[in-house]
Structure 1
Amino acid sequence: MGIISIAAVAGLSLRSLIQNIIPPQEVTSSTFPTLTLVNSKTGQPIKTSDLTVNSPEIVVFNYPLQNEPNFLLRLGNSSGQDIAIKSVTVKIPATGQTYTSPGGVGPYKSVVASSAICQHLGCVPPEIHYYPPGTSIPNTGISGSSNHGLIHCNCHGSTYDPINGFSVVTGPTTHPLPSVVLSYDSSSDTYKAVSMVGPTIYGHSSDLSGGSAISGTSTEVVNEGTPST
Structure 2
Amino acid sequence: MTDNNHDIEQPDERVPRRVIGTPSPAAGTSLLGTDEQSAAGVSDVPGVTLKDEQTARKGERIAALCFTVTLIAGIAFIVSYVVFQVGDLETTRTSTLALGGTLTLALLAMAAGMVVWVRLVMPKYNLVQERHAMASDSGTRETVAETFLQGANESGFVKRPLLRRTLLLAAAPLGLAPLVLLRDLGPSYSNFPEKLRHTVWGEKTKDGKNRRLVVEGTGAPIRAADFNSPGGILSVVPEGYEHDLNALAKATLILIKFRPEEIKSGTNLNWTHDGIVAYSKICTHVGCPAALYEQTTHHILCPCHQSTFDAADGAKVVFGPAARPLPQLPIAVDNEGYLVATADFSVPPGPSFWERGDAEAEVRKNGGHA
Normalising by structure 1, report the TM-score.
0.50
Distance 2:263 2:270 in 1: 5
Aligned amino acid, residue 122 of structure 1: G
Q: Offset of 1:155 from its aligned partner?
A: 0.9
How do 1:1-229 residues align onto structure 2 when only pairs under 5 Å count?
23-24=205-206, 34-38=210-214, 46-55=223-232, 58-62=234-238, 66-67=247-248, 68-75=251-258, 82-84=259-261, 88-89=265-266, 101-103=268-270, 105-106=272-273, 109-124=274-289, 128-133=291-296, 147=297, 149-185=298-334, 188-203=336-351
Distance 1:42 1:175 in 2: 29
For the residue of structure 2 that corresponds to 1:66, the secondary structure is helix
Distance verdict in 2 for CA 1:103–1:161, change over 3 Å: farther
Distance 2:347 2:204 in 1: 24
Distance 2:263 2:328 in 1: 13
Distance verdict in 2 for CA 1:172–1:25, change over 3 Å: farther
Aligned amino acid, residue 37 of structure 1: L
2:331/2:341 contact within 8 Å kept:
yes
Q: Which has the higher helix share?
A: 2
Q: Mind listing any 5+ residue stretches in structure 2 that lack a counterpart?
A: 1-200, 357-370
Structure possessing the higher radius of gyration over alpha carbons: 2
1:87/1:103 contact within 8 Å kept:
no
Q: Which has the higher strand share?
A: 1
Moved over 6 A (4+): 39-42
For the residue of structure 1 that corresponds to 2:343, the secondary structure is strand
Distance verdict in 2 for CA 1:121–1:158, change over 3 Å: same
| TM-superposition CA deviations, 1:110-153 (whole Å, max 9, x none) | 1000100010111015xx321111xxxxxxxxxxxxx2x11011
Select the structure with the greater relative contact order (CA < 8 A; seq sep ≥ 6). 1
2:271/2:330 contact within 8 Å kept:
no
1:72/1:114 contact within 8 Å kept:
yes
1:184/1:192 contact within 8 Å kept:
yes
User: Corresponding residue for 2:62?
Assistant: none
Q: Offset of 1:175 from its aligned partner?
A: 0.5
Distance verdict in 2 for CA 1:43–1:123, change over 3 Å: closer
2:333/2:340 contact within 8 Å kept:
yes
What is the aligned-residue RMSD (CA, Å)? 3.7
Distance verdict in 2 for CA 1:86–1:47, change over 3 Å: closer
Aligned length: 145
Identity within the alignment, %:
21
Distance 2:260 2:285 in 1: 28
Distance 1:151 1:113 in 2: 12
Distance verdict in 2 for CA 1:62–1:169, change over 3 Å: farther
